[in-house]
Amino acid sequence: NAGVMQNPRHLVRRRGQEARLRCSPMKGHSHVYWYRQLPEEGLKFMVYLQKENIIDESGMPKERFSAEFPKEGPSILRIQQVVRGDSAAYFCASSPHKRAEQFFGPGTRLTVL
Amino acid sequence: DQQVKQNSPSLSVQEGRISILNCDYTNSMFDYFLWYKKYPAEGPTFLISISSIKDKNEDGRFTVFLNKSAKHLSLHIVPSQPGDSAVYFCAASANTGNQFYFGTGTSLTVIP
């Protein structure tokens, strides 16, 4: 069984550009979570999605950030007009149902120049 | 507002001895707790969980203890091995919520 896949593993963007981060959950998992980890900090919840639905986006900044989990294809975290403060590691996790153990991907390290 | 706290950023333990990692939480609604282990440049890996109906859960060398009255949980690793050197995160969730709240992590170094 393939684990949670994230790509790209590293992403470099200039200020003002868009960043698209992809996450393919484990087979059979319909619950996807996105987290951000800033240097020297823990994992901060951003958004929780189930197929085609955003369940909880309380941790996501109101502007420039959006997430989707379409019926077909990976979940996408999109950051528009990136700023230097967006530089972080972004982790995706999936689970078979709500509040089950979450399985994490390897993360995408975003660097904004 | 940090609802899950790991007050020790780092811990060093001799190989073969016990490692004890601590975690405190503030939200009395939390009823499900997880521990994750993370190596550099990798995603966290699930280690062990505990529900609030229990006060102890054991899996091989790993045991998690939950003290609900103190809002405190701990992870015991015995015997500690060099391969256990990693950052350990605790996480908590409430039945009424959708998310897990993570602590800031404790970096464990097991000295051979």
Report pLDDT digits (tens) over A16-60. 999 999 999 999 899 999 999 987 788 999 999 998 899 999 999
B80 Cα to chain A: minimum distance (Å): 23
Which residues in chain B are closer than 8 Å to A35, comparing Cβ atoms? 102
| DSSP class of B82 | G
Kindly report the number of other CB atoms within 10 A of residue A75's CB atom.
22
pLDDT at B98 over 90: no
Which residues in chain A are closer than 8 Å to B42, comparing Cβ atoms? 106-107
Closest residue to B43, CB basis, from A44, A55, A104: A104
CB contact under 8 A, A104 and B104: no
Determine the pLDDT at residue A1: 53
User: Does B40 lie at the interface with A, CB-CB under 8 angstroms?
Assistant: no
Determine the pLDDT at residue B37: 97
CB contact under 8 A, B99 and A59: yes
| Tens-digit pLDDT profile for residues B4-32 | 999 999 999 999 999 999 999 999 999 99
* CA-based nearest residue in chain A for residue B106: A42
Closest residue to B46, CB basis, from A44, A91, A101: A101
Determine the pLDDT at residue A98: 81
Determine the pLDDT at residue B99: 85
Three-state SS string over chain A comes to: CCCCEEECCEEEECCCCCEEEEEECCCCCCEEEEEEECCCCCEEEEEEEECCEEEECCCCCCCCEEEECCCCCCEEEEECCCCHHHCEEEEEEEECCCCCCCEECCCEEEEEC
* CA-based nearest residue in chain B for residue A90: B43
pLDDT at B77 over 60: yes
| Tens-digit pLDDT profile for residues B62-76 | 999 999 999 999 999
User: Does A41 lie at the interface with B, CB-CB under 8 angstroms?
Assistant: yes
Determine the pLDDT at residue B107: 96
User: Does B101 lie at the interface with A, CB-CB under 8 angstroms?
Assistant: yes
Confidence category of residue A100, pLDDT binned at 50, 70, 90: confident
- Any idea how long chain A is? 113
Determine the pLDDT at residue B18: 98
Cis peptide before B79 (omega within 30 of 0): yes
